[in-house]
Amino acid sequence: MNSARHAALLATLQNAPVKAQPEKWGLQASDIYGENVFGLAAMRKHLPHAVYQELERTINQRQRLNPQIADVVANAMKDWAIERGATHYTHWFQPMTGLTAEKHDAFLSPTQNGQVISEFSGKMLITGEPDASSFPSGGLRSTFEARGYTAWDPTVPAFIIKQPFGATLHIPTFFYSYSGEALDRKIPLQRSIDALSTQALRILRLFGNLEATSVQAMVGPEQEYFLVDKNLALLREDLMLCGRTLQGAQVPKGQEMADHYFGSIPERVLSFMQDLEQELLALGIPAKTRHNEVAPGQFELAPVFEDANTACDHNMLIMNLMRHIAPRHGFICLLHEKPFAGVNGSGKHNNWSMCDSTGQNLLNPGQTPQDNAQFLVFLAAVLRAVHKHSQVLRLGTIGAGNDHRLGANEAPPAILSVYLGEQLTNVIEQIMHHGHGVSQDKPKMEIGVSTLPPLPLDLSDRNRTSPFAFTGNKFEFRAVGSSQSIAPVNIALNAAVACALDDIATELETKISQGIHLNQALQELLPRLFQEHQNIIFNGNGYTEEWKKEAEQRGLPNYNNTVDALLHYTDQNVQEVFLRHKVLNQKEMLSRQEILLENYANTICIEAKVFLDMLRTKILPAAQKAEYQAAKTLFYVQQVTSDGSACEQETFKVLKHEISALVAATHILEENVAKTKSAQTSKEQAILSRDLILPAMQTCRKYADKLETLLDDNLWQLPKYKELLWIH
């Protein structure tokens, strides 16, 4: 055994699927579903009926929480949690780090007479004051009031996370500053959900629907991830600290054979999946599908869709649990968008639709002409939202990690367009022609009279190159990164669609107040809307260069990196979307821009420093050992033969050349990090990270990857791509 790498490789021979604990064997989903959740069923059982009814109204009808009932709810929640082994509770929140945060408090409080009692009041349930002053606030908190506050979100259930030594009650909360500004992503998400509901209801009322009381954004996120053997991953500080490899020569066998995609799932991976799914089910998270993804070592989990707020919390939990459970099975779970160069990265398809309180999916083309007309209005609203506000949607997908993916011919381009499929595009053309009265060849589509042709429920997502595809009764937004919270993208979608619905509702309401019939108003409005926004529809191949050119001609923006997109955060057209329905105020927007720029620069600076460390302490020393060996070989060959030593000279020369080039590149990287760090503002740091550090890292990588392919395998310390990607 020559190196730690070889020892780690040997250790993987011991890998075996972890056996389920006996008490978990053969459990039915129905036995465990929701057992760790204080949801409606548990509430009904543990709360007095009147209190339950009040709380149920808050949850289902979004009525204000009555603070009078908080003590009773807190007490019941505490008893329920303690019965299940909980010793602590925490206000669980989602600060702008993009992760979740928790600070645990014990239920126990000492009494005067030296005893302890368990304590959890309504006040403790409703608000918290974690001293969370170190979270990014983008200038929203001044030092004299640095605290953040948490407030219970009763609309998603509290839950317990069990560990071998106990359990902790988690209470989902909003996180805000002393002056009431949002410090998290849940507050703007909730505001965007409310805005969408209000505007969508206006449309439903116009269609005579008096029954629905609210409209929910429904979301089903498909989560991609990589599993890498833990023994091997631990030897790579880039994987441990950055979640992606900063160096790694291409493998002789990647995803070319498509033999991993949908292949039979390796046993050890399947054990991980089963373990994960059991925990998810216990938390009331409906994990539904699992399969091997395109890249070797890549997998996917998709839950059944839920309302956007719950789906967002659940997706955060899914990511947390994936990270926690993988090591039990000898894996590290990588959620990064691009852990390995040369094979596909990971995304998160955000399936989105709107559903009213009676269960009607508003993106479902209906059976009757009147249903069809309503569907077409909601469709037009989405087209308008994506077309007018594509920058806002793009902002929901930014991140240093996702920059490696978008537009790299494995994920949709950074240009937003909508795929509607042939049938629906045809319908829209018929409607547009009707408006102009130029329909010679195509049949006319009369709103409220004609019926739509049956549309296929496109479950196979035929056009994978589109960032935003209509798939039968929902839109699938495919540009989201695998590690990202789905809150930003859904905030953007809800807010942008709310603006479009608002415009449409205002126009229709005005017409109707003038005595014009709804169908007539639609017959005038829809052709105009489709004409105005037809440029956003693109059913072709989004990966091609021609599309980039055409998109430019169509005036569709292409911000192909985070910094470009972020600098547009304060554009008039972006601000309007957030301000109109008070999803974010001006201060909150500026603070978010600041935080995101800072986060981008920090991410890249950390990667550079990790890489410099690997280069100096692992890669260059190994290369220099090889150079020394080559020099020695050359020297002895020259001693013992007069037949020449061209071969040995060549080996030595090549090594020496690559090493010199790498040393020079390392110096440049070091200088560029220093230059970036000394910049005064986050904006400058972000720009320099992109323009100086990233290219310098790329150059270092080129030489380091080359050296990996030249060196004696015994000298190479870092686990190689073939080992990281193929050992499961």
Cβ–Cβ < 8 Å for 76, 41: no
Cβ–Cβ < 8 Å for 535, 386: no
CA dihedral 69, 187, 336, 345 (to 10 degrees): 110
Residue closest to ligand ADP, measured at CB? 220
Spatial CB neighbours of 209, under 8 Å, sequence gap ≥ 6: 356
- Which of residues 203 and 251 has its CB atom nearest to ligand ADP in the complex? 203
For residue 375, state whether it binds ligand ADP (rule: CB under 6 A).
no
For residue 390, state whether it binds ligand ADP (rule: CB under 6 A).
no
For residue 305, state whether it binds ligand ADP (rule: CB under 6 A).
yes
Neighbours of 27 (CB within 10 A): 14
For residue 474, state whether it binds ligand ADP (rule: CB under 6 A).
yes
Q: Residue 304 binds what, of Mg ion, ligand ADP, none (CB under 5 to 8 Å, by partner type)? A: ligand ADP
What's the burial of 202, exposed, middle or buried (CB within 10 Å: 0-12/13-18/19+)?
Answer: middle
Instruction: Select from 156-164, 175-183, 203-211, 348-356 the region that touches ligand ADP (CB under 6 A).
Output: 348-356
Residues that bind Mg ion (CB under 5 A): 349
Distance of CA 369 to CAs 59, 376, 423, 509, Å?
34, 10, 16, 21
For residue 478, state whether it binds ligand ADP (rule: CB under 6 A).
no
Smallest gap from residue 140 Cβ to Mg ion (A): 36
Smallest gap from residue 459 Cβ to ligand ADP (A): 5
Spatial CB neighbours of 6, under 8 Å, sequence gap ≥ 6: 714
Beta bridge partners of 468: 418, 477
Region 646-665 residues binding ligand ADP, contact defined as CB under 6 A:
none
Per-position DSSP letters for 675-693, written without gaps between them: HHHT-SSHHHHHHHIIIII
Pull the structure tokens for residue 614: 């690997």
Instruction: Select from 163-171, 269-277, 344-352, 630-638 the region that touches ligand ADP (CB under 6 A).
Output: 344-352
For residue 218, state whether it binds ligand ADP (rule: CB under 6 A).
yes
Instruction: Select from 95-103, 147-155, 202-210, 212-220 the region that touches ligand ADP (CB under 6 A).
Output: 212-220
Sign of the alpha-carbon torsion through 304, 494, 318, 52 = negative
Q: Residue 718 binds what, of Mg ion, ligand ADP, none (CB under 5 to 8 Å, by partner type)? A: none
Q: Residue 474 binds what, of Mg ion, ligand ADP, none (CB under 5 to 8 Å, by partner type)? A: ligand ADP
- Which of residues 150 and 471 has its CB atom nearest to Mg ion in the complex? 471
Instruction: Select from 9-17, 214-222, 505-513, 563-571 the region that touches ligand ADP (CB under 6 A).
Output: 214-222
Beta bridge partners of 175: 150
Per-position DSSP letters for 522-573, written without gaps between them: HHHHHHHHHHHHGGGB--S-TTSHHHHHHHHHTT-----SHHHHHTTTTSHH
Q: What are φ and ψ of residue 602, in 5° steps?
A: -60, -45
- Which of residues 349 and 387 has its CB atom nearest to Mg ion in the complex? 349
- Which of residues 461 and 507 has its CB atom nearest to ligand ADP in the complex? 461
- Which of residues 421 and 527 has its CB atom nearest to Mg ion in the complex? 421
Smallest gap from residue 219 Cβ to ligand ADP (A): 6
For residue 304, state whether it binds ligand ADP (rule: CB under 6 A).
yes
For residue 224, state whether it binds ligand ADP (rule: CB under 6 A).
no
Smallest gap from residue 142 Cβ to ligand ADP (A): 41
Neighbours of 449 (CB within 10 A): 13
Q: CA-CA distance, 169 to 158, in Å (whole number)? A: 7
What DSSP character marks residue 472? S
Q: Residue 230 binds what, of ligand ADP, Mg ion, none (CB under 5 to 8 Å, by partner type)? A: none
Smallest gap from residue 500 Cβ to Mg ion (A): 24
Query: Rounded to a whole number, what is the distance in angstroms from the first to the last CA of the chain?
Result: 21
Q: CA-CA distance, 505 to 279, in Å (whole number)? A: 44
For residue 461, state whether it binds ligand ADP (rule: CB under 6 A).
yes
Q: At what angle do helices 586-614 and 572-580 cross, to 10 degrees?
A: 120
Candidates 361, 539, 560, 649; binder of ligand ADP (CB under 6 A) is: 361
For residue 303, state whether it binds ligand ADP (rule: CB under 6 A).
yes
* Buried b / exposed e along 718-728 (16+ C-beta atoms within 10 A): bbbbbbbbebb
For residue 293, state whether it binds ligand ADP (rule: CB under 6 A).
no
Q: Residue 218 binds what, of ligand ADP, Mg ion, none (CB under 5 to 8 Å, by partner type)? A: ligand ADP
| Amino acid, single-letter form, for residue 396 | G
Pull the structure tokens for residue 507: 């126009």
Q: Residue 353 binds what, of ligand ADP, Mg ion, none (CB under 5 to 8 Å, by partner type)? A: ligand ADP
Q: CA-CA distance, 211 to 201, in Å (whole number)? A: 10
Residue with tokens 């979004």: 62
For residue 457, state whether it binds ligand ADP (rule: CB under 6 A).
no
For residue 307, state whether it binds ligand ADP (rule: CB under 6 A).
no
Smallest gap from residue 263 Cβ to ligand ADP (A): 17
Pull the structure tokens for residue 45: 């059982």
- Which of residues 224 and 403 has its CB atom nearest to ligand ADP in the complex? 224
For residue 351, state whether it binds ligand ADP (rule: CB under 6 A).
yes
CA dihedral 532, 435, 197, 369 (to 10 degrees): -150
Candidates 117, 210, 459, 646; binder of ligand ADP (CB under 6 A) is: 459
Candidates 54, 153, 184, 222; binder of ligand ADP (CB under 6 A) is: 222
Q: Residue 407 binds what, of ligand ADP, Mg ion, none (CB under 5 to 8 Å, by partner type)? A: none
- Which of residues 51 and 200 has its CB atom nearest to ligand ADP in the complex? 200
- Which of residues 107 and 352 has its CB atom nearest to ligand ADP in the complex? 352
Region 227-266 residues binding ligand ADP, contact defined as CB under 6 A:
none
β strands within 270-384, DSSP E: 287-292, 298-303, 306-307, 331-334, 348-356
Residue closest to Mg ion, measured at CB? 349
Candidates 220, 345, 396, 435; binder of ligand ADP (CB under 6 A) is: 220
Which stretches of the chain bind ligand ADP, using CB under 6 A? Answer: 218-220, 222, 289, 302-305, 349, 351-353, 361, 459, 461, 473-474
